[in-house]
Chains A and B, each alone.
Chain A
Amino acid sequence: MRHALVIAGKDLKLRLRDRSVLIVAFVAPLALAVILGLAFGGTGPGFRATFAVADLDGSEMSRTFVEQVLGSPQLSGSVTVREVSGAEQAERLAASGDVSAAFVVPPGFEGSVRGGGEATLRVLRSSSSRVGADVAEAVARGFADRLNATRLSVITAVAGGVGEDPAALAAAAAAEEPPVRLVDAGTSSQQAGGPEYFGPAMAIFFLFFTVGFTARSLLAERESGTLSRIGAAPLRGWSVLAGKTLPAFVIGLTSMFVMLTAMRVMFGASWGDPLTLAVLTVVTVFGIFGVTAVVQTLARNQQQADSYAGIVGIVLALLGGNFFPIDQLPGAVRQIALVTPNGRALRAFGDLAALGGGLSTIWTHLVIVAGFGAIGMLIGAVRMRRVVEA
């Protein structure tokens, strides 16, 4: 054990002396995560719209539409309403794209509705708007259907042969409650483009480069001939391997820890239960380590080891969603992401932040990522022992 620690200490010192490790483990992931955090720090895939409304009726009913429907607290967060005096102005605003849509409540609207005649609410959709105009039309249709409910009841009853006086029917129908109620079940959702996602995403991506130097350092020792001298010392193979492995873990864990702390301090990111987060972080480093261990044992020299690890890291990062929030990509891409160790780990970080809970929330992810690590380490260790003992 002591031998392993001595080797580990020496490797760690050597490693930190080369400043590129500081860049790859700390500076680069943090810088990228901060840029991503700032770029996507908004309130989600945006829907903001401005509607113009020309109330030419000025009645109680039309004011209800303008003030209580368009001005409802549910809409006021993301919809701005601009009241204009004439239909032409409303149309001009919609045509120029200054508003997503314009409503025109014609004169005599309330009179027609109350009198059971025809009334038309006009919606002018701006051709440059998409979702905004859809929403405007939905709002208008919802309002019209509510106004129509009484009338529809009366006509349906009369057409079915109910012989009561229509005025009495209308009064009875107006007193009915709608049979379907829409209730809001609010929840808080996780900002997929936010620091809870991109912090770990960038840290994990760079893990491929930081933890990959176990094999590399063995290859370096072999190239410089020091490996055979270590072999001449009374050391067991495993303590050499352990000594070579430990620094990678230390740097990888520190890198993750710094990232998580930075995201917490700068953006207030939170992943719930700290103990679970700690377990997940360790398992993540272990999993990525396993993958790079196998990849690097395929290399014959240091440079190859570096570029193999880089290639595998970039490909897995692309597929695993380290550059794009996987949950927002199409289903097939999402499935592929969950097959990669980094994608799994990332999903676990996301789930911790989004769904809360502890180990019970993410245990399947943990098992899979740890599995990648264990299998990789095993293959890597067997192959590496050959290097050490050769």
Chain B
Amino acid sequence: MKIWTIALLSVRRLGGERTALFYVLLLPLMILLVVGSATGGAGEARLEVGMVSGGGPLATELRDRVDAYPRVDVVSYDDPDELRDAVRRRTVLAGIVLGSVYDQTLMAGGTAEVSLIVDPALDATAAMRSMVSAAVTEQAARLQAARFASVRAAGTFDEALERAGTIAREPGGTTVESATVGAPADEPFVGGFNYQAPAQVILFVFITSAAASGMVIESRRLGVTRRMLATPTRVRTVVAGEGMGRFGIALTQALIVFVVSTLLFGVRWGHPVGAALVILLFCLVATGVGLLMGTTLRTAEQAGAIGPPLGIALGMLGGCMWPLEIVPTPMRVFGHLFPHAWAMDAWIGLIGRGEGVGGIAVELGVLAAFAAVLLPLSVWRLRRSVVG
């Protein structure tokens, strides 16, 4: 009974601080909102290309052709210098500049230049260049044909161009036949709320547990624990209560993000037992870390200073900020030294691949192992600090 009283006290102390409400409730929500909508549905990055277009019908046609690629978006720019700056800032991956006299030059029989502003060092450059080049070649072929025909007295250039367009659409000549093969791929589980919500659970359970470890230090410094021992309460009870309190805080944080993101954004969590196990095991790991910090650090300020950066750093390493599949392999391997990466792998299994408990057994096992090492160690230290 006393265990519960001591444990509940910790959770209520967290609720008692009004600013804690920001860190525990509002901050995860804000991050979810910003990151979730920024990466919403982004299976594979869209290629944004900027374009300064001359404005004539030929220039517009070229623009529409590039824009018609399924994963390419064309953004208009007025000034080539502005576009060049955008490429250098990587606001857009490439810039296409048609001179202001693009149409006039071509109509008058001259040679027009399309300049492509790209960074050769960038991987996406080859993709952009191929696509723009194909669009330019297609238009050039028609223009060439129209010019060829019209100088041989086959009507005006405009008429010839229209005729070339009609002929180009007819079957015949060299054609490209494209077909999609293979089973349709699942929607990639790398963006949007459905990745961010589980990631925020992991991130914030850890940060809150680490930052709230200052309470353990305060209880010790203010002599609360010593006074509890002066009452007819056994050491075991005090230690268990304090430990349960840490666990309660971790679980509260997890449930807050879980409930709010489910209600607001309709996040799916996969197999319910699997999801519950991931959350519980990670809360146990966080409890261990919170207790360890609470018994190792000397002041509550230190806990407040170390907790959030540590939590953010491990979150970054473990894939809570971005999917680990986009980082270089050594970083991915390094990340798996910490529990976050395993918890995220478990979520990817549960939600991304729709696995059950069996499918994420390895990840659950590793999380349990983390807990099995951290908890006894931290309880032992807590006991020493309570008795000592």
B126 within 8 A of A: yes
Does A360 lie at the interface of the complex (its beta carbon under 8 Å from any beta carbon of B)?
no
User: Looking at the complex, which of B172-180, B227-235, B244-252, B260-268 is the stretch in contact with chain A?
Assistant: B172-180
Judged by a CB distance under 8 angstroms, whether A382 is at the interface is: no
How many chain B residues sit at the interface, stated as a range, is 35 or more
Taking CB atoms, residues of chain A closer than 8 Å to B384 are: none
Quick one: which of A123, A162, A181, A333 contacts B153, CB cutoff 8 A? A162
Q: With A and B bound together, what is the CA distance between A27 and B330 in angstroms? A: 22
Expressed in whole angstroms, the minimum distance between the Cβ of B170 and any Cβ of chain A is 9
- B123 contacts A78, CB within 8 Å? yes
Closest to B314 in A: A35
Contact B302 A77 (CB under 8 A): no
Tell me the residues in window 117-151 of chain A with beta carbons closer than 8 Å to chain B beta carbons. Answer: 118-128, 130-135, 137-142, 144-149, 151
Contacts known (A145-B137, A148-B168, A189-B122); A123 close to B106, Cβ less than 8 A? no
Q: Which of B93, B120, B310, B316 contacts A45 (CB 8 A)?
A: B93
Q: Name, among B182, B184, B306, B330, the residue most crowded by chain A CB atoms within 10 Å (CB to CB).
A: B182
**Hey, what's the 0/1 contact readout for A32-53 against B, CB within 8 Å counting as 1?**
1001101111111111110000
**Complex CA distance for A27 and B310, rounded to whole angstroms:** 10
Q: Cβ of A327 and Cβ of B176 under 8 Å apart?
A: no
Please tell me if the beta carbons of B301 and A156 are within 8 angstroms of each other in the complex.
no
Shortest CB-to-CB span from A311 to chain B, Å, is 5
Contacts of A119 in B (CB 8 A): 173-175
**Cβ distance A271 to chain B, nearest Cβ, rounded Å:** 14
Q: Could you tell me if B90 and A191 are in contact, using CB atoms closer than 8 angstroms?
A: yes
Is there an interface contact between B182 and A127, defined as CB atoms closer than 8 Å?
A: yes
Q: When the two chains form their complex, are residues B88 and A161 in contact, meaning their CB atoms are under 8 A apart? A: no
Query: Is there an interface contact between A152 and B89, defined as CB atoms closer than 8 Å?
Result: no
* A161 partner residues in chain B, CB cutoff 8 A: 154-155
- Listed in ascending order, the chain A residues whose CB lies under 8 Å from chain B are 18-21, 23-24, 27-29, 31-32, 35-36, 38-49, 74-75, 77-79, 91, 94-97, 112-113, 116, 118-128, 130-135, 137-142, 144-149, 151-153, 155-157, 159-162, 164, 169, 172-173, 176-192, 206, 209, 304, 306-308, 310-311, 314-315, 318-319, 323-325, 327-330, 333-334, 350-351, 354-355
B contact residues vs A (CB 8 Å cutoff)? 19, 22, 27, 30-31, 34-35, 38, 43-45, 47, 69-72, 84-85, 87-91, 93, 95, 97, 106, 109-127, 129-150, 152-155, 159-160, 163-164, 167-168, 171-185, 299, 301-302, 304-306, 309-310, 312-313, 316-317, 321-322, 326-328, 330-331
Contacts A/B (CB < 8 Å), 26 sampled:
A21-B305, A23-B305, A27-B309, A32-B312, A38-B330, A42-B123, A49-B127, A127-B184, A130-B43, A132-B127, A140-B178, A142-B133, A147-B174, A156-B160, A179-B143, A184-B115, A184-B129, A185-B95, A185-B116, A187-B117, A206-B309, A304-B19, A306-B304, A328-B90, A333-B34, A355-B89
